[in-house]
Amino acid sequence: MPPRLQGPRIAVPPPFVFLAGWVAAWILAQRLPFAIDGGGASGVQEGLGVAIAAAGLALAGWAMGTFLSARTAIVPIKPARTLVTHGPFRFSRNPMYVGLTGAYVGLAVLLNQAWPLVVLPAVVAVLVVFVIRREERYLGSVFGLQYEAYCRRVRRWV
């Protein structure tokens, strides 16, 4: 089967990678509680958490809407129909993952939980190794020079 029809062969949907990070953080917190602020979250901290989470979800939603309007697969296990380079993809090759990261950080801040922040580098590493690199290889094989030019113009994250 040609690469275009195979998709990037992502085994785990990216939101599950973030969910796994939260589960790991929850397990750690059961053994050793670790708050951002030992005195409890202030109103400012909670507001900041909500703002960060909302901005992350808005970015991820904008990116998904852009994929829908381009009539290409949102789920990375399905093949791409087109290379999307407009909307938030003008600024980041992975705005959905940037948005999910923002939502993850915002939720940790809102809930005054430090463990999710400690676990976040591992979440991002898993995302890069098992999702983003596979997507990039796939997109390079399908869109060739067009994708290479896009990668030179737009950063992976921001």
pLDDT digits (tens, 9 = 90+) for 60-94: 999 999 999 999 988 888 888 999 999 999 999 99
Rounded-to-integer distance, Cα 134 and Cα 74, Å: 15
Is 121 a residue whose pLDDT tops 70?
yes
Res 135: pLDDT: 93
Phi, psi (degrees; rounded to nearest 5) at 10: -85, 125
Least confident span in 39-48, 76-85, 137-146, 149-158: 76-85
Contacts of 120 (CB under 8 A, 6+ apart): 21, 101, 104, 105, 108
Res 11: pLDDT: 82
